[in-house]
Chain A
Amino acid sequence: MKVRAQMSMLFHLDKCIGCHTCSVACKNLWTDRKGAEYMWWNNVETRPGTGYPTGWEDQEHYKGGWRRDEKGRIKLKLHSKAGGLGKLFYNPSLPELDDYYDPFTFKYGDLFDAPQGDQQPTAIPISKITGEPMKIESGPNWDDDLGGSDTYAKNDVSMEGVDAAVRAQMEELERVVFNYLPRICNHCLNPACVGACPSGAIYKRGEDGVVLVNEDKCRGWRMCVAACPYKKVYYNWSTGKSEKCILCFPRMETGQAPACAHSCVGRIRYMGVLLYDADKISDMVSKPDDELLDAHLGMILDPHDPDVVKAAAASGIDDGWIDAARNSPVYKFVKEWGMALPLHSEYRTGAMMFYIPPMSPVVSTIESNLVKLDLPEERKDFELLDQLDKARLPIKYLANLFSIGDEEPIRRILRTMLSIRTYKRRQSLDGTELDAETIEMLAQVGLSVNDAEDIYKLTTLPTIEDRFVFPPYHREMSIEEINDPLAHKGETGLGYIQAAHRGP
């Protein structure tokens, strides 16, 4: 057992506001500069929708991620047809500017400088790259809030397999709906970007699993851009190097949440340590589709298990990290309560960010041009508990995103949330004395009353300390290997990369 630690983020999608504060926090901090204009290391997608870059989930087109061949071997999709290196200079699956957008701004200065004329001046749109006037025809969040769009929502790749009648209804009042999907780099266990890099510039940090592009070593081949199925590596046209989400490691190393997670006003994000067995990666990613999700989740080790603890120590994992893993809110949601799933596990990269799928309103019917909510005749606390198919967001759609098309895990998670809501509602309206029916309802989703309370509390009441549990990074120990920490105390910030040079 080779135990490794992974910093993981969990997104409680039921709580997501769709505000994009996370995206702006990230942009302000990391990608607000020349060459990085179009980079959105963190973005939020309205779903159903086509996402950013447009249609990124269409791996028939983009060839991202890994493919399992007939013999159960794993290869980069990108390399499936022709040889890898042969494509270095011509790569048809690389996203183009149109798949992203032409970054724009406006000629604001004209408002001050326009000479007196017959018309009021206005700041016209111009390209951020060329400075020339342009038409704005796309953006990084172009289909924001566009439920029921025949141009965007309809063309969501993950809608495949959803019943045709339901799909048609989703373009009508009866079932129109949208939800949000925030995305960052998944800091995968089997990153396709690492696998694709001809320069060996991309690596996964041993201590926390953060996947980084070494800006010194990157030669701008852009194979990572194509290979990443999530399209979360970007090419900086100004520096000629690729860049990607760094999980705000300078913040995590100092016990602060990444900017996206810190700024999340929906309080949907949780962070914590997961321990996994690195020896099992190749086995996991080679599983057939129907075993893949279980294997994926099975990678995560129980930090309370004495054998795991022993193996972790033997693998050089600090006590503080093991302790953090035990208190990890991500571990609780993913493993203890089974409420969170990875995004598109079928890409076989071993994504290490997790999502709790969202609830949605009950569908309606139209009766003589009147809208009638599809409610049962007898009163229910939450009617969807017994009829999940009447949720506006189709279960199949969520399954395509989070469980390789298998509806069972989604149904179980949604029932878990609705059961806890029902329990809490009965407690509020009928008093704290629990009836047998309520206890049985919780038992059906495998919960004790204490479990239900714990899930309730971590879902709604957590403080920043409950949501973000960071391990001690012991930077002094890493620094010690290259510099005396006492000397470093006096030198840090003066620069290793751009050391001060004596003038001529």
Chain B
Amino acid sequence: MSDHWIQESLNPAERKWEEFYRNRFQHDKRVRTTHGVNCTGSCSWEVFVKDGIVTWELQATDYPQLEEGLPPYEPRGCQRGISYSWYLYSPIRVKYPYARGVLVDMYRKAKREYQGDAVAAWASIQDDPEMRARYQAARGKGGFRRIGWDEAVEIAAASTVHTIKQHGPDRVAGFSPIPAMSQVSYASGSRFMSLIGGVVMSFYDWYCDLPPASPEIWGEQTDVHESADWYNARFVAVMGANLNMTRTPDTHFISEVRHAGAKLAVFTPDFSQIAKYADWWVPTNPGQDTAFWLAVNHVLLSEYFHERKVEYFQTYNKTYTDGPFLVEITDGVAGKCLRANRLASHADVENGDWKLLVWDEDAKAPRMPNGAIGDRWASEHKGRWNLEMHDSVLDVDINPSLTFADDHDGVVEVDFEVYGGDGGVEARPVPTRVIETIDGPVTVTTIHDLLMARFGVKRGLAGDPNTADYDAETGGYTPAWQEKYTGIHRDTVIKFAREWGRNGEKTNGRNMIIIGAGANHWYHNNLLYRSGITALMLTGSVGINGGGLAHYVGQEKLVCHASWGALAFAGDWGMAPRHMNSPSFHYVHSDQWRYERGYREYDSLPSVHPAKFDHTIDHQARAVRKGWLPFFPQFKENPIEVVEEARKHGADTDEAVVDTVVERMKSGDLELAIDDPDAPESWPRTWFIWRGNAIGTSAKGHEFFLRHYLGTHSTAIAKEPDDHGITEVKVRPDAPIGKMDLVVDLNFRMDTSALHSDIVLPAATWYEKNDINSTDMHSFINPMQMAVPPAWESKNDWEIFQKIAAKVSEMSQKYLPEPVSDVIMQPLVHDSIDEISQPQVVDWRKGEAEAVPGKTMPKFKIVERDYTKVGEKMGSLGLGIRNNGVGAHGLRFKVDDFYDELARKQPDQSSRDGDGPLRPSIKRDREACDAILALDPATNGEIAHRAFEAEEVKTGQSLTHLAAGSRDSRVSFADLIVQPRRILTTPTWSGKVAKGRPYSPFTLNVENLIPWRTLTGRQHFYLDHEQYIEWGESLPCYKPKPDHAMLSETEESLAEGQDGKLFNYITPHGKWSIHSTYSENDRMMTLSRGGYPVWINNKDAAEQGIADNDWVELYNDNGVFVQRCTTSSRIPRGSIFVYHATERTVGIPISPRRKKRAGMNNSLTRVRLKPVLMSGGYAQFTYSFNYWGPTGNNRDTFVYLRRIENPSY
């Protein structure tokens, strides 16, 4: 028997050797820190230091607990995060400054020629086209040389000063993504840009992480549940979000809530990781979820609003949605919401164009409820911006009608466009009333009734032509209709919808949609989102713990955004930042616009509108001049010289300078850069990249970046159309190659961007610096803490940009010695009175309106810049914060006492000798952290109290009690090191978190009647902006996906060879990386397949003779990608999946087809902007940075795929 084999040992003497492993485990220090960009996990980690080396990391588990009955957060941290320590000492670590050798040689030679004058030397290189082309062509092709810090900083500063002087400060651009995860590191470059007048480029919209439906419906960038709140849901639908991959440390709340009784449905075309948890896995065809949800809404409207009225749903829809608001019907077309000032009784109300009406069921008359955007920006009668159903003009309460179905003056047929299928227009009956206005009788209906009609719900109205029951395939968004798009049987839709309705009814709205990039990266993402959000609004699920839309795509919640914003964009020094939406920046400057014929090729617009020839770039140019979107460079002239010139001609005040600018614009004398984007005067010149992979994985249309920005090799073969059909902007005959003079990258690893940059500066890793980190996913603030000093010659970003700034100031002694004035062109902005500037869409250039800055066109601000002081200002917190307070969400509140307290704690030595007040020092990263924490309502209870006081003035509601319990609370960096701290309830956010309640968005709105920042103040089913009506998107609707024939990105490739097969190219988040970070590290490469696999259905593979792990080449007109493939039936046929954000630095062969190094996942994409998302100057459709504007969608791409034999490196 076996007993004698079992050697059981209890004898310590025999077991002395066990110390072998004990010794390995011993460590010298454990340091709490976290990981810093892109990943929004915000996990608290302990880093173990042994012998001065970071040896490994494990999760800290001491999160404060939330309220009883919720699972705790611990542990947080995933396979990627736990592999981070590899980077510190790895061979891909950037240890020293590097520069391209060919450029260094040119620069040194020129510097000798110009007697050591760095700026003159740099200018001489830029003035020589041959030299410029030579070093540009070398970009990305090796030849790096290690140089010293002084020289690296000198070149960067020389290019900056040269650009400012020669072209203007708005030709210096800076890109860094997702500040929330290392807020001070982000702020380093953005503060520098803001102080010099450079361009701060957005990321959230560019990454297509911004869900435009959120501002459309809620006037909110994004506001979502912390993951613990998933546990309060009882029906969860996960759509396009592979939580196991993207929200790894939060996923347990999903597995756990099922055991608490919740039902889980997962919508993914592939059997994904999250599908393993599902009760119902619904494999909708890629990008067709819209159709599924529209049909769900059809069932909900039929069964829960028409056949039976559920009291909870009725009350919710009347109070919190625009459902009862009145819309004008003219000639069978639903137009704009009826304005209050059209009624004789309300004709004189302030901002009457911006106040709206509902029908009072009892009074049988129209009434104007509180809370519309006109109330928000009231100058008289403040305090009416609230969700009370009260008419403050008549001083009566309102009982609004949601529908006229049971009581109407008439039934009118309204036209609805059918997109897809055979198309056409269907007239559907809508119950109406006629209202007497000062312009005569007007026919109106409710938004809810329009919704019923749009969805084709059969209501027995006047014969109901073109409405449908569930089995009808036309006449509405029925369960039968959706089958041809989704591939899902009607029976499944109906069962899902009934369970959705039942759950909402029985739990008062604990229905949740968790949604992600799989849904948000489509061209028509706004429609996809709106279809799902409609089902949430109908079931009263938004603003409820456990209910609503939980959008997680690169979500970033910088909880202290009020204080941080001032610091990051130099508001403390009175600067107005040049915030730029990157989608437009890249679409225009990387010349991707030149390769397409514009949106009319692939966007579906109503057939009733004449198909006018129009190009996206035309729309873009109009959006800029109307003040809808920013654009930089702003003019074809240097904005500093524009001011100088104006002053020379007698403009002696800022107003006079602005007048001159407007006059010159009107006459056409001062040209906008957007109107001639390829003119050398319109190019961006110096580009700083930090904390991001701007040229690599962030670059939709990467190969066009290589060609037009960098001037180096590219695998794009796309051709420009013979006739672009462009009317508004100048199309120069030859697209410029190599617009950028200098690209500087701060990096800890040699990624694709670093490899293609001119200068690579060694940045400290996340374990080597102090910073603050916060997230949407939980309600704690985490510190990033220096476990070991920056290794080798690396430095943290905060220090690096101070060095560059100091050098710029030093060089400015000669080149920009006197203070200068800069005119900044800004668009109309959200959360300001600009939201009520454009009731109609008009074009001043076409003479449709006067050119009035801040009304019909951009606004202009004059800012004084002293370039010799930039270095000094970087590290000192200016008095602007002390004098003006901080603000967010349209609120502003004082922080002067805390500013002074901070200044005493960490005085800026240089301010001690002056006669002004003492200023806080923010020279060191940790000082900057403490400045952010001390001055924000989310971390300072007294300031939260003040913020609620400000909100009380606007809303007339009692709110300060919400901050009373935490009024004494303060959080410092030293506190964070001890334990992550929870944020406070503040009106700079929309959720309530007192007493351990999990954050759920809009609970403040629902419970405290604070309006949403929208036209009606309510959540919007209906978008009555003229552009939305023109685009046919005023109501939720279905539009077909753009297909390859529309996109013109595969024609040249087909001509090249016919051995490939066409696939829809899907690039979801990867399992072994957080975007590109971690992807190339040894651990993750080992656990994946040592590459970036191309996932393909096994039958699709077999048809092409492809076996698992074979090499394949993916190509289209935009570029090429070569990798090995993985075959499985879990992938839907006709699509291929490549986990996004690959690097071209590791294991990428030469493309057999294009003979160059094959690129990366973005080599196959090209950005397409959706023009309707450029709308501006109108309530929630008003620009804000990372908040509103077109997004960099990339999901509709098509590629050819073919098998190749072992390619060479």
A272 interface contact, C-beta 8 A: no
Measured between beta carbons, the chain A residues less than 8 angstroms from B382 are none
Q: Is the CB of B279 within 8 A of A259?
A: no
Measured between beta carbons, the chain B residues less than 8 angstroms from A194 are 5-7
1/0 per residue, CB under 8 A from A, across B78-106: the answer is 11001101000011100000101110000
B24 interface contact, C-beta 8 A: yes
Question: Nearest-CB distance from A37 to chain B (Å)?
Answer: 8
A143-161 at interface with B (beta carbon < 8 Å): 144-153
Instruction: Decide: A200 near B7, CB < 8 A? Known: A122-B1146, A250-B25, A482-B13.
Output: yes
A30 interface contact, C-beta 8 A: yes
Instruction: Decide: A147 near B279, CB < 8 A? Known: A139-B1086, A370-B489, A372-B492.
Output: no
Q: Is the CB of A497 within 8 A of B1209?
A: no
1/0 per residue, CB under 8 A from A, across B647-690: the answer is 00000000000000000000000000000000000000000000
Task: Number of A interface residues at 8 Å Cβ cutoff, please give it.
Answer: 143
Question: Nearest-CB distance from A426 to chain B (Å)?
Answer: 7
Measured between beta carbons, the chain B residues less than 8 angstroms from A304 are none
1/0 per residue, CB under 8 A from A, across B316-350: the answer is 00000000000000000000000000000000000
Q: Is the CB of B251 within 8 A of A249?
A: no
A185 interface contact, C-beta 8 A: no
Q: Is the CB of A461 within 8 A of B71?
A: yes
Question: Nearest-CB distance from A80 to chain B (Å)?
Answer: 15
Can you name the residue of chain A whose Cβ is closest to the Cβ of B233?
A428
B138 interface contact, C-beta 8 A: yes
Measured between beta carbons, the chain B residues less than 8 angstroms from A248 are 25
A222 interface contact, C-beta 8 A: no
B1 interface contact, C-beta 8 A: yes
**Which residue of the partner chain, among B9, B499, B1107, contacts A379 with CB atoms under 8 Å?**
B499
1/0 per residue, CB under 8 A from B, across A422-436: the answer is 111111111000000
A423 to B1146, CA, bound (A): 52
Instruction: Decide: A176 near B17, CB < 8 A? Known: A141-B1088, A267-B71.
Output: no
Can you name the residue of chain A whose Cβ is closest to the Cβ of B1090?
A136
B309 interface contact, C-beta 8 A: no
1/0 per residue, CB under 8 A from A, across B1-36: the answer is 111011111111101111111111110000000000
B226-279 at interface with A (beta carbon < 8 Å): 231, 234, 244, 248-249, 251-252, 255-263, 266, 271, 273, 275-276, 278-279
A144 to B1090, CA, bound (A): 12
A422 to B234, CA, bound (A): 12
A497 to B1124, CA, bound (A): 47
Measured between beta carbons, the chain B residues less than 8 angstroms from A259 are 58
Instruction: Decide: A27 near B1083, CB < 8 A? Known: A17-B251, A119-B141, A266-B255.
Output: yes
Can you name the residue of chain B whose Cβ is closest to the Cβ of A193?
B5
Can you name the residue of chain A whose Cβ is closest to the Cβ of B93?
A108
Can you name the residue of chain A whose Cβ is closest to the Cβ of B760?
A112
Q: Is the CB of B255 within 8 A of A15?
A: yes
Measured between beta carbons, the chain B residues less than 8 angstroms from A35 are none
Q: Is the CB of B10 within 8 A of A207?
A: yes
1/0 per residue, CB under 8 A from A, across B1144-1167: the answer is 111111100000110000000000
Q: Is the CB of A421 within 8 A of B258?
A: yes
B483 interface contact, C-beta 8 A: yes
Instruction: Decide: A372 near B491, CB < 8 A? Known: A147-B271, A497-B17.
Output: yes
Q: Which of B921-929, B1045-1053, B1126-1134 lines the interface with chain A?
A: B1126-1134
Q: Is the CB of B248 within 8 A of A17?
A: yes
Question: Nearest-CB distance from B1078 to chain A (Å)?
Answer: 10
Q: Is the CB of A24 within 8 A of B83?
A: yes
Measured between beta carbons, the chain B residues less than 8 angstroms from A203 are 7-9
A204 interface contact, C-beta 8 A: yes
A285 to B1071, CA, bound (A): 41
**Which residue of the partner chain, among A375, A464, A482, contacts B75 with CB atoms under 8 Å?**
A464
A18 interface contact, C-beta 8 A: yes
A29 interface contact, C-beta 8 A: yes
Q: Is the CB of A371 within 8 A of B6?
A: no
Measured between beta carbons, the chain A residues less than 8 angstroms from B3 are 281-282
Q: Is the CB of B280 within 8 A of A361?
A: yes
A5 to B450, CA, bound (A): 70
**Which residue of the partner chain, among B144, B276, B502, contacts A177 with CB atoms under 8 Å?**
B276
Question: Nearest-CB distance from B1206 to chain A (Å)?
Answer: 7
A279 to B1098, CA, bound (A): 53
A215 interface contact, C-beta 8 A: yes
Instruction: Decide: A497 near B71, CB < 8 A? Known: A17-B248, A286-B1.
Output: no
Instruction: Decide: A171 near B252, CB < 8 A? Known: A28-B56, A124-B1147, A125-B1090.
Output: no
Instruction: Decide: A148 near B58, CB < 8 A? Known: A122-B1147, A424-B261.
Output: no
Q: Which of A55-63, A99-107, A319-327, A334-342 lines the interface with chain B?
A: A99-107
Q: Is the CB of B1146 within 8 A of A108?
A: yes
A450 interface contact, C-beta 8 A: no
Measured between beta carbons, the chain B residues less than 8 angstroms from A417 are 259
Instruction: Decide: A28 near B69, CB < 8 A? Known: A104-B1090, A456-B259.
Output: no
A297-334 at interface with B (beta carbon < 8 Å): none
**Which residue of the partner chain, among A18, A286, A495, contacts B244 with CB atoms under 8 Å?**
A18
Measured between beta carbons, the chain A residues less than 8 angstroms from B255 are 14-15, 17, 266
1/0 per residue, CB under 8 A from A, across B495-531: the answer is 1001100110011001000000000000000000000
Q: Is the CB of B1144 within 8 A of A122?
A: yes
Measured between beta carbons, the chain A residues less than 8 angstroms from B83 are 24, 28
Measured between beta carbons, the chain B residues less than 8 angstroms from A176 are 271, 1128-1130
A124 to B1091, CA, bound (A): 11
Q: Is the CB of B271 within 8 A of A178?
A: yes
Q: Is the CB of B59 within 8 A of A263?
A: yes
1/0 per residue, CB under 8 A from B, across A344-364: the answer is 000000000000001111101
B833 interface contact, C-beta 8 A: no
Instruction: Decide: A148 near B1129, CB < 8 A? Known: A28-B57, A108-B1146, A482-B16.
Output: yes
Instruction: Decide: A108 near B492, CB < 8 A? Known: A190-B6, A266-B255.
Output: no
Q: Is the CB of A112 within 8 A of B144?
A: yes
A4 to B10, CA, bound (A): 11
Measured between beta carbons, the chain B residues less than 8 angstroms from A106 are 1080, 1082, 1085, 1146-1147
Instruction: Decide: A266 near B1108, CB < 8 A? Known: A148-B271, A460-B259.
Output: no
Measured between beta carbons, the chain A residues less than 8 angstroms from B1129 are 147-150, 171-173, 176
A180-210 at interface with B (beta carbon < 8 Å): 180, 189-191, 194-195, 200, 202-207
**Which residue of the partner chain, among B75, B262, B1144, B1148, contacts A425 with CB atoms under 8 Å?**
B262
Q: Is the CB of A373 within 8 A of B495?
A: yes
A73 interface contact, C-beta 8 A: yes
Most buried by A among B22, B82, B249, B713: B82
Q: Is the CB of B282 within 8 A of A122?
A: no
Q: Is the CB of A30 within 8 A of B1?
A: no
A20 interface contact, C-beta 8 A: yes
Residues of chain B touching chain A, judged by Cβ–Cβ distance below 8 Å, are 1-3, 5-13, 15-26, 55-59, 61, 65, 69-72, 74-79, 82-83, 85, 90-92, 98, 100-102, 138, 140-144, 231, 234, 244, 248-249, 251-252, 255-263, 266, 271, 273, 275-276, 278-283, 483, 487-489, 491-492, 495, 498-499, 502-503, 506-507, 510, 713, 750, 755, 1071, 1080, 1082-1083, 1085-1091, 1098, 1107-1109, 1124, 1126-1130, 1132, 1144-1150, 1156-1157, 1206, 1209
* Cβ-closest 10 pairs across A and B: A116-B143, A424-B261, A148-B1129, A206-B10, A425-B261, A114-B142, A372-B489, A136-B1090, A28-B56, A460-B256
Given A24-B83, A361-B279, A370-B488: 20 more A-B contacts, CB < 8 Å = A111-B755, A113-B144, A116-B101, A117-B143, A122-B1146, A137-B1109, A149-B1108, A150-B1098, A200-B7, A250-B25, A250-B26, A265-B249, A267-B75, A359-B258, A362-B280, A372-B488, A379-B495, A379-B502, A417-B259, A459-B256
A-B contact pairs, 16 of them (CB 8 A): A17-B273, A109-B91, A116-B102, A120-B1144, A120-B1157, A145-B273, A151-B1108, A203-B8, A205-B15, A278-B8, A361-B278, A372-B488, A372-B492, A482-B16, A493-B26, A496-B19
